[in-house]
Amino acid sequence: MIEIINLPKHLDDRGNLSFLENNNQIPFEIKRVHWIFDVPGGEMRGGLAYKEAIEFVIALSGSFDVVVDDGKQQKVINLNRSYQGVLIPKGTWREINNFSTNSVALIAASTHYDPSDAIRDYKDFLKYCGL
């Protein structure tokens, strides 16, 4: 199930702080973290589904849309707060687009990178879903 998760937020006059921990704010142990930055206007990132990996996506800076799709229904989630992210279960198609200037998307994943885990063609994804 797609879930928006609010991370702990500590406000301070010197600057605010947020964090996430394995199996605490997110329901998995982090095996990989990567980030997307300097995305040219109009470009889309992602366009894939993982058979095993669970992902947690955060807008560390700026904003962008995460489009999630279970094969039957599509939902657009705008991320624009560094203390809020979207949990994307395995077997869910996702795309990231509509990046604002200087935005940074951080993705924490439950697995190490394995190219064979990714479904990169939407028609193949629908077959995987049995549709």
**How much is the pLDDT for 12?**
95
Q: Is residue 24 part of a domain?
A: no
Task: Please tell me the total count of domains within the chain.
Answer: 1
What CATH number is given to the structural domain containing 87? 2.60.120.10
Angle at 108 between CA 76 and CA 8, to 5 degrees: 80
97 lies in some domain: yes
Q: Specify if 20 maps to a domain.
A: no
In a domain, 71, yes or no: yes
Domain span holding position 45? 3-8+29-128
In a domain, 21, yes or no: no
Residue 46 Rama label (left phi>0; alpha psi -120 to 50; beta): left
Residue 78 belongs to some domain of the structure: yes
Q: Could you report the per-residue pLDDT of 90-116, keeping only the tens digit for each?
A: 999 999 999 999 999 999 999 999 999
Q: What is the mean pLDDT of residues 38-64?
A: 95
The model carries a pTM of 0.94
In a domain, 102, yes or no: yes
Q: Is residue 52 part of a domain?
A: yes
